[in-house]
Amino acid sequence: MSEMKKATREGFGEEIVALGKQNKDICVIDIDIGKSCKTGEFVKQLPKQHINVGIAEQNGAGVAAGMATCGKIPFVVTYAVFGSLRMCEMIRQEICYPNLNVKIACSHGGVTPANDGASHQSIEDMGVLRTIPNMTVIMPADYVAAKKLTAAAAEMYGPCYLRFTRDAIPVIYDETAEFVIGKANVLKEGKDVAIIANGDTVVLALKAAEELAKEGIQARVVDMHTIKPLDVEEVNYCVDHIGKIITVEDHNILNGLGSAVCEVAAEKGKGIVKRIGIQDQFGQSAPYERLLAINGITVENIVKTAKELYSL
Amino acid sequence: MKNVSVNELKNIATDLRKKAVTMIYEAQSGHPGGSLSAADFVAACYFREMNIDPKNPKWEDRDRFVLSKGHVCPIQYAALGTLGYFPEKELHTLRKEGSILQGHPDMKKCPGIDISTGSLGQGLACAVGMALCAKMDGKDYRAFVVVGDGEAQEGEIWEAAQTANKYHLDNLIVFVDDNNLQLDGTCDEVMPNIHLGKKFEAFGFESYEIDGNDMQQIVDTLDRIRESKNGKPKCIFGHTVKGKGVSYMENACGWHGVAPNDEEYAQAMKELDAQMI
């Protein structure tokens, strides 16, 4: 892990410019929060591939669908809470049902818009969108992952939700790391407990694994950057070979990564899964770290939970 | 544009009405009222105005047609089937399992459908996206949209109208099928629309108010619009009669989403046959 810190939204903002230069069909549809979502460079360098529909999310999704039918690859860019819930029915009806090549690329996922309060925090988005057929749901764990998964999303055909976050977080991948949509990255091998995380919480899982190692507990750390399609093979491996799994996410524990992993384990009828995430409660205006702590999304709680599982 | 006379178009519209009512009768399910009110505009677009090729439904430079009020798809299916987008016998499969003719238009199943619709208020934004692409790519194709007056109660319609104005989409033609009826009653009772022609005008559109069931007026308006490249999106505010052409369905709210029985069907066919000129 390098000392460098960068926000995943920055990775998106840089990569989308590179992609737009390579492929003139790639467009950005902003909804008046482009500055915050880091599309400023795209606007400057590729103005002919840029649309700003103003504060009108539903329309943004519909315009994107229409453009996709004419061969464009639109990236609709807004905050996660609006890009999932405000646009939800348009995403279902006009993007996923006709299986159009539209990407919903959102910043401020999870509780990272901390001081803005619950209205701007997005704790349901991935769960809601993963229940819609044809949709792919991705959350990169760092700046490098954000760039590579943005490129992979542009490359694949079909609707895709990309969830980025506000804050600078440690860069854990080097530039040579490979990403395949739907294929988890195992960041650390371990036989005693599996920690499956996504997004900004992957670094917490890595730190927890370091702490556990000091006490002789070997944790396997998995970056499950795609929750749909879930890497079922990896979850099965964890269930079969370790049997003790912790999921960590900045998302409601209902219907997000934890639920997706539980579904696989339950169908196998094996293993035990402990979910760490937002405890089905709204946030409030507070520092990001406090909001995580209130919900037990901390290195300490991952370590504690791992020890409990290990002792079973 | 194809050279088709107004009288020919009138007969085509009557034929489409017969087919739509037959489909709904055979399915014993569907929306006859709105299908009949929109029939004349649909006929004028598909059989005269639009630059399309039924043998090549995905032709990149074709004009686009968006039925934002997707529930009246029987009238669009009738046009597509008549033009040969698919074998006409498919028209007998409306709303049946495995059919390409879903209860609401599905672009993945039915050739000639440019975008799936069904949830009201969403089609105009999609058409704006299509018209935008034509502008971005320097192409001449246009996007035609049918919006219901009830449907215009949805906020997304006005979000899309703003965007059409901002990007000077004079290649976007919105037909407002103003039949003043929606499911729960008249639009005036449920939610007064004010004057939709003026409302679109206020949103930057070039607006025309016509009798939307008068073929001569539809054709004349489309002729004027074709020549108007002034950067303004177009609105045809068409006063129509819900159920137009079948006496007992006309202006009757109850015929929004109900299929005719045997007797009613026979009478509808008799009345429509009598309208052939």
Query: B23 vs A280, B28, B76, CA distance in Å?
Result: 48, 8, 12
On whether residue B82 sits in a domain, the answer given is yes
pLDDT score, position A3: 79
Beta-carbon separation of B156 and A64 below 8 A: no
Which of A30, A52, A53, A87 to mutate to test binding with chain B, by most B CBs within 10 Å of its CB?
A: A53
DSSP of chain B: -----HHHHHHHHHHHHHHHHHHHHHHT-S-HHHHHHHHHHHHHIIIII----TT-TT-TTSPEEEESSGGGHHHHHHHHHHHTSS-GGGGGGTTSTT-SS-SS--TTTSTT-SS---STT-HHHHHHHHHHHHHHTT----EEEEEETTGGGSHHHHHHHHHHHHTT-TTEEEEEEE--EETTEEHHHH-----HHHHHHHTT-EEEEEETT-HHHHHHHHHHHHH--SS--EEEEEE--TTTTSGGGTT-GGGSS----HHHHHHHHHHHHHT--
Q: Name the residue among B112, B113, B115, B111 with its Cα closest to residue B128.
A: B115
Structural domain including B28 reads: 6-274
Which of A26, A94, A95 to mutate to test binding with chain B, by most B CBs within 10 Å of its CB?
A: A94
**Cβ atoms of residues B180 and B148 within 8 Å:** no
Number of neighbouring beta carbons within 10 Å of residue B236: 27
Query: B64 vs A103, A286, B43, B84, B131, CA distance in Å?
Result: 23, 49, 14, 17, 9
Nearest CA in chain B to A56: B159
Task: Indicate where chain A has its CATH 3.40.50.970 domain(s).
Answer: 5-170
Which pair of tokens denotes residue A145?
A: 């992952």
pLDDT along chain A (312 residues), means of 10: 89 98 98 96 98 98 98 98 98 98 98 97 98 98 98 98 98 97 98 98 98 98 98 98 98 98 97 98 98 98 98 94
Beta-carbon separation of B133 and A66 below 8 A: yes
Find the mean pLDDT for residues B251-274. Answer: 96
Number of neighbouring beta carbons within 10 Å of residue B272: 21
Cα separation, B5 vs A129, in Å, equals 50
Distance from CA of B277 to the nearest CA of A (A): 39
Q: Express each pLDDT in B133-159 by its tens digit.
A: 999 999 999 999 999 999 999 999 999
Q: Touching check for B119 and chain A: CB below 8 Å? A: yes
Which pair of tokens denotes residue A45?
A: 């360098």
Question: If you search the block for the tokens 């384990």, which residue do you land on?
Answer: A265
Phi first, then psi, for residue A181 (nearest 5°) are: -60, 130
Pick B115's closest partner by Cβ from A54, A61, A65: A65
pLDDT score, position A106: 98
Neighboring chain A residues of B108 at a CB cutoff of 8 Å: 98-99
Residue numbers of B between 124 and 143 with CB closer than 8 Å to A:
124-134, 136-137, 143
Cα separation, A174 vs A191, in Å, equals 25
Distance from CA of A34 to the nearest CA of B (A): 17
Q: What is the CATH number of domain A5-170?
A: 3.40.50.970
Cα separation, A55 vs A200, in Å, equals 28
Residue B263 has pLDDT above 90, yes or no: yes
Cα separation, B206 vs B174, in Å, equals 10
Beta-carbon separation of B126 and A69 below 8 A: yes
Task: Indicate where chain A has its CATH 3.40.50.920 domain(s).
Answer: 185-307
Residue B144's DSSP bridge partners are: B65, B173
Beta-carbon separation of B119 and A48 below 8 A: no
pLDDT score, position B198: 98
Beta-carbon separation of B125 and A98 below 8 A: no
Q: Express each pLDDT in A6-56 by its tens digit.
A: 999 999 999 999 999 999 999 999 999 999 999 999 999 999 999 999 999
Exposed, middle or buried, B140 (CB in 10 Å: 0-12/13-18/19+)? exposed
pLDDT score, position B208: 98
Q: Express each pLDDT in B161-193 by its tens digit.
A: 999 999 999 999 999 999 999 999 999 999 998
Beta-carbon separation of B126 and A66 below 8 A: yes
Pick B128's closest partner by Cβ from A49, A66, A68: A66
Phi first, then psi, for residue A137 (nearest 5°) are: -125, 120
- Angle between helix A57-69 and B155-166 (nearest 10): 60
Beta-carbon separation of A97 and B106 below 8 A: yes
For residue B132, name the pLDDT band (cuts at 50, 70, 90): very high
On whether residue B148 sits in a domain, the answer given is yes
CB-defined contacts A:B, below 8 A: 109
Exposed, middle or buried, B91 (CB in 10 Å: 0-12/13-18/19+)? buried
Residue numbers of A between 139 and 168 with CB closer than 8 Å to B:
none
Question: If you search the block for the tokens 């069907």, which residue do you land on?
Answer: B265
Domains of chain B: total: 1
Neighboring chain B residues of A82 at a CB cutoff of 8 Å: none
Cα separation, B156 vs A90, in Å, equals 10
Beta-carbon separation of B162 and A69 below 8 A: no
**Cβ atoms of residues B119 and A93 within 8 Å:** yes
pLDDT score, position A1: 61
Which pair of tokens denotes residue A62?
A: 């519909």
On whether residue B175 sits in a domain, the answer given is yes
Distance from CA of B251 to the nearest CA of A (A): 30
On whether residue B1 sits in a domain, the answer given is no
Domain with residue B205: its CATH number is: 3.40.50.970
Neighboring chain A residues of B128 at a CB cutoff of 8 Å: 59, 62-63, 66
Q: How many CA atoms lie within 13 A of A23 on its CB side?
A: 15
Nearest CA in chain B to A53: B163
Beta-carbon separation of B125 and A61 below 8 A: yes
- Spatial CB neighbours of A145, under 8 Å, sequence gap ≥ 6: A8, A11, A173, A177, A179, A223, A225
Residues of A annotated as part of the active site: 57
On whether residue B131 sits in a domain, the answer given is yes
**Mean pLDDT, chain B, integer:** 97
The complex's ipTM works out to 0.96
CA triple A149-A119-A295, angle to 5 deg: 75
CATH class of A185-307: alpha beta
Q: Express each pLDDT in A190-224 by its tens digit.
A: 999 999 999 999 999 999 999 999 999 999 999 99
Pick B128's closest partner by Cβ from A49, A63, A98: A63
Neighboring chain B residues of A93 at a CB cutoff of 8 Å: 116-119, 122
CA pseudo-torsion sign B256, B261, B265, B271: negative
Q: Express each pLDDT in B72-105 by its tens digit.
A: 999 999 999 999 999 999 999 999 999 999 999 9
Q: Name the residue among B204, B203, B196, B156 with its Cα closest to residue B176.
A: B196
Beta-carbon separation of B118 and A61 below 8 A: no
pLDDT score, position B88: 97
